């Protein structure tokens, strides 16, 4: 059953879904899901922001509010495995994870160079493309300030931009495949995120440390959980603001 109270409050406010989304800093698709999917409640901060925007009470827009203990319990259920370093994650896990994808296949990184050399991963991408699954790659824009800063932070300087360009070259055979899209983003990347439907690997980034030495969370979406959706929403924000590229040759920017 849709959240008709939220739908009605938006209509009464005179705002469109796009306008509500823009003021809250989320996507219009996310707001639509809050309305159409009864189990998809926004995080508490968005509930209060939405209620304030629509001049309504949180308890009116979203009934049966859960306690913090319930939220914590659901969050614990979302955690499948914690790896202290990406380097100890089994190499087979990435292609195994993506082999299950039917609706969402997302890769959000700066370069993710090690993955570009995984033949099993390339094979899965091609299989999913042939099966009609949408595959989205988001790599860092080699010429942007965020990538430059990350290179300095890791002590590799311009090599970070070079790694991205080389990663794109390694993906050359994937450009042009049905349903496979590449975009470049200029965000400060707090996590590299690898999503396959309702599971994902989130590789955190630590200042001055290469991603291969940073922790990885293997999480899954569970009813009532908020952790998975928090990461998934960040992927959508990056995708919406990233610029499409059609080949490794039209990256643009200063070559290193």
Lowest mean pLDDT among 161-165, 170-174, 250-254: 250-254
CA 94 vs. chain centroid, Å, equals 15
Q: At what angle do helices 4-13 and 17-24 cross, to 10 degrees?
A: 90
State residue 222's pLDDT score: 84
pLDDT tens profile 14-68: 999 999 999 998 999 999 999 998 677 788 778 888 988 998 888 788 876 556 6
Classify 201 as helix, strand or coil. strand
In degrees, rounded to 5, the angle at the alpha carbon of residue 10 between the alpha carbons of residues 21 and 56 is 105
137's tokens: 């790659």
- The pLDDT mean for the chain works out to 90
Answer yes or no: is pLDDT of 256 > 50: no
Lookup: tokens for 177: 């495949």
The pLDDT value given to residue 109: 97
Integer-rounded Cα radius of gyration of the chain: 20
User: What number of other Cβ atoms are within 10 A of residue 10's Cβ?
Assistant: 22
Contact in structure between 256 and 183 (CB atoms under 8 Å):
no
195 vs 71, higher pLDDT: 195
Contact by Cβ (8 Å): 141, 185: yes
For the cut 60, the answer to whether the pLDDT of residue 194 exceeds it is yes
The predicted-structure confidence for 69-97, as pLDDT tens digits, reads as follows 777 777 788 999 999 999 999 999 999 99
The C-alpha angle 20, 25, 28, rounded to 5 degrees, equals: 50
Coil vs helix vs strand at 98 = helix
pLDDT per residue as tens digits for the range 117-158: 999 999 999 999 999 999 999 999 999 999 999 999 988 999
Q: What is the DSSP letter of 248?
A: G
pLDDT at 165 over 60: yes
Helices 4-13 & 44-54, crossing angle to 10 degrees?
40
Integer Cα distance of 3 and 1 in angstroms: 7
Instruction: Please give the angle made by the CA atoms of 6, 195 and 82, to the nearest 5 degrees.
Output: 105
């Amino acid at each position: 059953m849709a959240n008709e109270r939220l739908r009605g409050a938006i209509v009464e406010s005179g705002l469109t879904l796009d306008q509500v989304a823009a003021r809250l800093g989320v996507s219009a698709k996310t707001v639509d899901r809050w309305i159409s999917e009864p189990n998809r409640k926004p995080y508490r901060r968005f509930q209060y922001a939405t209620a304030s925007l629509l001049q309504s009470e949180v308890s009116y827009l979203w009934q049966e509010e859960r306690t913090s203990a319930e939220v914590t319990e659901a969050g614990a259920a979302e955690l499948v495995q914690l790896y202290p370093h990406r380097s100890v994650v089994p190499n087979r896990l990435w292609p195994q994870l993506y082999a299950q994808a039917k609706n969402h296949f997302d890769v959000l990184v700066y370069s993710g160079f090690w993955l570009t050399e995984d033949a099993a991963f390339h094979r899965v991408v091609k299989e999913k493309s042939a099966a009609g699954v949408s595959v989205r790659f988001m790599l860092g824009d080699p010429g942007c300030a965020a990538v430059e800063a990350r290179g300095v932070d890791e002590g590799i300087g311009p090599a970070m931009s070079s790694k991205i360009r080389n990663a794109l070259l390694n993906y050359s055979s994937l450009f042009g495949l049905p349903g496979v899209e590449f975009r470049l983003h200029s965000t400060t990347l707090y996590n590299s995120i690898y999503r396959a439907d309702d599971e994902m690997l989130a590789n955190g980034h630590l200042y001055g440390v290469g991603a291969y030495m940073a922790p990885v969370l293997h999480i899954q979406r569970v009813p009532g959980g908020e952790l998975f959706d928090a990461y998934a929403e960040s992927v959508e924000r990056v995708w919406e603001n990233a610029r499409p590229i059609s080949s490794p040759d039209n990256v643009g920017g200063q070559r290193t």
